[in-house]
Chains A and B, each alone.
Chain A
């Protein structure tokens, strides 16, 4: 039996999962899915920012288009910190396609005119 806090939504359910991957304490099905994933292969979404070259003192926010393995977060951050964009940018614009072969893109999350 292992206890963990669900991070799928702000409700933050206290989950319990046993050796047979039976989950209790979850308010919704996503909690059960999260607990199993957390014990087998933890995944996280990553949000960050990239430099805007034609705007002074400005970065624009980005995120991974899906979840990535938790242990890859720092490696992906190093890659993201090399990225630069030119304004205007829009939500959903792809800044980097399939970095590190993680099957996600780095996409813009903020509109800058």
Chain B
């Protein structure tokens, strides 16, 4: 069987950054497997601006951002295979893949980095009620049709869910001549960034209805109407609040889920992010298998995906060079009002700062963030505003972290 030191599954932002970092740290034998016909992953269809502010101190479109990394992958002569689907990953890191040139092939890797991104929740995921005509489509699919192939998916559009892709598509579809009638969000707050509410909805006078969702789809062959109904705080429909809206398309922007089918098949433990549980060097609980980017937890900003990819590349390089330490780990728990924290454990023998990434359960103001190990306060900070749509990153100094003797909890309290 063919062998490779590092196999990276997924050639998007996370995978390219991971491979480049591993190469930089001396890993010579690397292979990236990518299912699409070019490197870059989802950024290929994210043609809007706003990428790279942290990484390059510039505002780039998605394709410009990815090209900078694709160019480096090519310059570093890191081998990659396109149009290649990985069908299996075994616990001892034998990867099965297929493409039209190699057929079905197996390769033994010393370390594997999962960088497979995420998928969109669809109509089935929210038990969307009513008819099933054509014209119900996820925001990312509509984005691919428009930005890669040049097809407008509809003319009179209702968008369900206020995730960033939905907001960005509201603007893009409007500029291309479609009428976006409204965006409807089941929660009492938006799931997207404030800036996208401002520049994608307010700029074009597109109304955003909060605490309102689709209660019924009506249409024989094509979507003809949707019924939007208000919900109470328990997400139950409020009687007599129906709004019947004529439209030909319903776009769903209702959340993203880490895509980890390969890990699920080998019973890799997962966390509340729906991604794998990882230690502070991004290793999953399967020995030598690392994870990073949106297949670990869904990010809002690609620059942070790149960073996390580098960390996984660093971890994998240590592992391949037999310098990896994970004997002494301490568990990290999400505390009050925190929905998740990545990583889920800290490698205590590794002399590196640890960045905790987390999200809050609901919008909060004036909070005291604490990171405690038992009763020992390792870190505190006041946070004026926290919203679920923005991931928060907290870097804890090494000397503080070393004081941790028992499980670490990250919590928020009113200040």
Binding site for B on A (CB under 8 A): 4-12, 14, 44-49, 51, 57-59, 61, 63, 70, 73-74, 77, 81, 91, 109-111
Q: Is the beta-carbon distance between B203 and A44 smaller than 8 angstroms?
A: yes
Q: Is the beta-carbon distance between A109 and B61 smaller than 8 angstroms?
A: yes
Q: Is the beta-carbon distance between A6 and B195 smaller than 8 angstroms?
A: yes
Instruction: Kindly specify which of B46-54, B154-162, B254-262, B288-296 makes contact with the partner chain.
Output: B46-54
Q: Which of B64, B193, B198 has the largest number of chain A CB atoms within 10 A?
A: B64
Q: Is the beta-carbon distance between A57 and B150 smaller than 8 angstroms?
A: yes
Q: Is the beta-carbon distance between A5 and B63 smaller than 8 angstroms?
A: no
Residues of B20-67 at the interface with A, using a CB-CB cut-off of 8 Å, are: 44, 47-50, 53, 59-64, 67
Q: Is the beta-carbon distance between B150 and A10 smaller than 8 angstroms?
A: no
Contact of B195 among A9, A47, A57, A70 (CB under 8 A): A9
B379-415 interface code vs A (CB 8 A; 1 in, 0 out): 0000001000000000000000000000000000000
Q: Which residues of B are found within 8 Å of A58, using beta-carbon distances?
A: 148-150
Binding site for A on B (CB under 8 A): 44, 47-50, 53, 59-64, 67, 146-151, 175-177, 193-199, 203, 300-301, 385
Q: Is the beta-carbon distance between B150 and A51 smaller than 8 angstroms?
A: yes
Q: Which residues of B are found within 8 Å of A51, using beta-carbon distances?
A: 150
Taken together as a complex, chains A and B put the C-alpha atoms of A7 and B59 apart, in Å, by 12
Q: Which residues of A are found within 8 Å of B147, using beta-carbon distances?
A: 49, 59, 61
Contact of B67 among A7, A14, A111 (CB under 8 A): A111
Q: Is the beta-carbon distance between A7 and B63 smaller than 8 angstroms?
A: no
Contact A9/B150 with A47-B47, A109-B63 known, Cβ cut-off 8 Å = no
Q: Is the beta-carbon distance between B48 and A5 smaller than 8 angstroms?
A: no
Taken together as a complex, chains A and B put the C-alpha atoms of A6 and B203 apart, in Å, by 13
Q: Is the beta-carbon distance between A111 and B53 smaller than 8 angstroms?
A: no
Taken together as a complex, chains A and B put the C-alpha atoms of A6 and B195 apart, in Å, by 6
Taken together as a complex, chains A and B put the C-alpha atoms of A74 and B179 apart, in Å, by 13
Taken together as a complex, chains A and B put the C-alpha atoms of A63 and B46 apart, in Å, by 12
Taken together as a complex, chains A and B put the C-alpha atoms of A9 and B175 apart, in Å, by 21
Q: Which residues of B are found within 8 Å of A4, using beta-carbon distances?
A: 198
Taken together as a complex, chains A and B put the C-alpha atoms of A109 and B44 apart, in Å, by 10
Taken together as a complex, chains A and B put the C-alpha atoms of A58 and B331 apart, in Å, by 48
Contact A110/B47 with A14-B194, A59-B150 known, Cβ cut-off 8 Å = yes
Chosen A-B contacts, 30 in total, with CB atoms closer than 8 Å, are: A6-B198, A7-B198, A7-B199, A8-B195, A10-B53, A10-B193, A10-B195, A11-B195, A12-B193, A12-B195, A12-B196, A44-B199, A44-B203, A48-B175, A51-B150, A57-B149, A57-B150, A58-B150, A61-B61, A61-B62, A70-B203, A77-B176, A91-B63, A91-B64, A109-B61, A110-B44, A110-B47, A110-B63, A110-B67, A111-B63
Kindly provide the distance from the CB of A94 to the nearest chain B CB, expressed in whole angstroms.
15
Q: Is the beta-carbon distance between A63 and B67 smaller than 8 angstroms?
A: no
Q: Is the beta-carbon distance between A49 and B146 smaller than 8 angstroms?
A: yes
Q: Is the beta-carbon distance between B53 and A9 smaller than 8 angstroms?
A: yes
Q: Which residues of B are found within 8 Å of A9, using beta-carbon distances?
A: 50, 53, 59, 195
Q: Which residue of B lies closest to A110 (CB)?
A: B63
Contact of B61 among A44, A47, A73 (CB under 8 A): A47
10 extra interface residue pairs, beta carbon distance < 8 Å, beyond A7-B199, A110-B67: A4-B198, A7-B195, A9-B50, A58-B149, A58-B150, A61-B47, A74-B175, A77-B176, A77-B177, A81-B176
Q: Which residues of A are found within 8 Å of B44, using beta-carbon distances?
A: 110
